[in-house]
A and B are shown apart, each in its own frame.
Chain A
């Protein structure tokens, strides 16, 4: 099975900082990659799918890129409401594995 590895596991950044989270697949998955945001005590929310397509209603400071095995989620200017754990997920084939998550905090 394809493994999904996110880095870093956690990060602390200042408001206004550019934040980048990476997700690496152990095999090529084309662009079948989604990013989710889970705020503390809340259910996950879809941010991006097809590696770079912004889900409706998601702020434009979120963006995704990559193809093949290496992907990134970028928050262009971190805001306090972005404190959350972010997960990538592959969906080209089953199992639809999630990454282990990246916890984003405010410094």
Chain B
């Protein structure tokens, strides 16, 4: 069974930093692209970032480009996102998400989600 367990959320002041982690289990981690998706309170889903299985390629939403860095440690089956220069509008539940098998897709859609970790940016 696929399990994705996020951690690292919390309250941070505007301009601050936070690092989220996602411990994965139940599948061969290195085989799958992984993403971060966020959802502001009462709002819709917003894609944040994706990293390929090897970790060699990363992509970001314009809203976080230059401030967030996605990475992975395949030896520990763990996904990360380093969030710097946080803004009030970054307040959201952040979901770690696993893609379906690549099957030729560069950006496979998501088939598994963690329960999310809440990031609140406020003074």
Q: Which residues of A contact B (CB under 8 A)?
A: 1, 32, 34, 36, 38, 43-46, 49, 55, 85, 87, 89, 91-101
Contacts and interface: CB of A to CB of B under 8 A. Distances in A.
Interface stretch (B12-20, B73-81, B110-118): B110-118
B45 interface: yes
A98 B61 CA distance: 11
Contacts of B45: 36, 38, 44, 87, 89, 98, 101
B47 A89 contact: yes
Range class of the B interface residue count: 20 to 34
The SS class assigned to the A binding surface is loop
A18 B116 CA distance: 33
A43 B114 contact: yes
Given A43-B116, A87-B44, A100-B44, 19 more contacts: A1-B62, A32-B107, A34-B109, A36-B45, A36-B110, A43-B115, A44-B45, A44-B95, A44-B113, A46-B111, A49-B100, A55-B111, A89-B45, A93-B107, A94-B60, A97-B47, A98-B45, A99-B44, A101-B45
B108 interface: yes
Contact of B109 (A43, A91, A100): A91
B59 interface: yes
Contacts of B110: 34, 36, 44, 46
A87 B110 CA distance: 12
Nearest to A44: B113
Contact of A43 (B60, B62, B113): B113
B34 interface: no
B89 interface: no
A49 B109 contact: yes
26 contacts: A1-B62, A36-B110, A38-B45, A43-B95, A43-B114, A43-B115, A44-B37, A44-B45, A44-B110, A45-B113, A46-B110, A46-B111, A49-B100, A55-B111, A87-B44, A91-B107, A91-B108, A92-B107, A95-B47, A95-B60, A95-B62, A96-B50, A97-B47, A100-B44, A101-B44, A101-B45
